[in-house]
Amino acid sequence: MLLLATACSGSGEEEPEGGSPSATEAPAVEIAIAPGDGATDVATSGELRVSAEHGTLTGVSVTDADGAEVPGELTEDATGWEPDEHLANDTAYTVTAVGENAEGREATAGSGFTTVAADETFTTNWNISDGATVGVGMVLSLTFDTPIEDTAAVRDAVRITADSGAEVRGHWFGTQRLDFRPEEYWEAGTEVEVSFRVRGVEGAPGVYGTLREDLTFTVGRSQVTTVDAAAKEMRVVRDGEELRTVPVTTGAEATPTWNGRMVITEKHRETRMDGATVGFGGEYDIPDVPHAMRLSTSGTFIHGNYWASSDTFGRDNVSHGCVGLDDTRGAGDPDTPAAWFYDNSIIGDVVEVINSEDDVIAPDNGLNGWNMPWDEWGAGQ
């Protein structure tokens, strides 16, 4: 049902002879609001709209019981209005619309309705904190606690704006993980705004999102490190200038390091590494690995190594797949190569491994979607 409102002439106007409007008088604007007044179980998207005939809309306000306003936009000709985000579930809304005809005479219409309650809800988690400064390889990754069927609707409810103008696309890995990145690494200094508008999105039949939040993050300096497994060295480049070349040890012949572009996702001054957790049985269990930075979900790190002799680095590849740098036990010496690299790295920096005797790492093994071609990223979703 549509609620209609018609403007009336002012009380001081002279009525034409016979009591009918003048033939030259513009018809009153008619405002229609859907859903109709008193409607219940209204869908959180696709039903709320306001339109005007014989005139234009000059203002539309949609608020909940707490006074929070639903943002929306007028059409180019100002004869229609729709919200630009999903409504919340099980929420009462009040609509007030104002319009005017060609002669500027106003009319006002109002309506109230309640949206459908959710059978279930899904939660959304993400990996970048508000205000963070990250490296140029950072990927925004969202995970969901239930499988998503309408992947396009959920993807489109995450809006990302980079002040560099870079296009940012989302890609689904399965039905519970959604990653976002630009085509190339972010430009250093880019400011990024993220608007999560997942609240009210029906991710699966009867299952709705609850997240409505904004965050910003900044892309810091550009640091890309290239690890050459054959040469057993890594070259650290920041903002186009080489900072340092460091000898390393990578994966042994039986356990080579992945090739490909990887992103630092965690930093630990010291951490335990137990081979049993990544499929190596009891081959190692080191309780205090220094200066460790994660590169993959499957257990690839770039870290300090105090148990190998110093002449191993740059000479032999002896690891179980990690990239090792010379270090001391206890992570207390700031002058070791591992300590230097740790102190000069941030979350989101890139470590690219080349010339290893292994495949390229899978794009969903860590935040490593950079290994997927852009024309495949987000295709078909």
- Residue 267: what are its φ and ψ, rounded to 5°? -130, 130
Torsion, CA 343, CA 346, CA 349, CA 355, rounded to 10: 30
Closest CA to 267 of 351, 186, 198, 373: 351
325: β partners: 304
Strands 202-204 and 120-122: unpaired
Asked if 90 contacts 200 with a C-beta cutoff of 8 angstroms, the reply is: no
- Residue 342: what are its φ and ψ, rounded to 5°? -60, -45
Asked if 366 contacts 285 with a C-beta cutoff of 8 angstroms, the reply is: no
Place of tokens 């699966």: 204
d(C-alpha 111, C-alpha 290), whole Å: 63
Q: Can you read off the two tokens belonging to residue 378?
A: 């987000």
Closest CA to 192 of 169, 161, 166, 168: 161
Residue positions annotated with a catalytic role: 303, 322
d(C-alpha 367, C-alpha 89), whole Å: 33
179: β partners: 141, 171
In whole angstroms, how far apart are CA 299 and each of 32, 273, 277, 280? 59, 9, 8, 11
Asked if 336 contacts 328 with a C-beta cutoff of 8 angstroms, the reply is: yes
Closest CA to 53 of 83, 23, 77, 84: 77
Q: Helix, strand, or coil here: 156?
A: helix
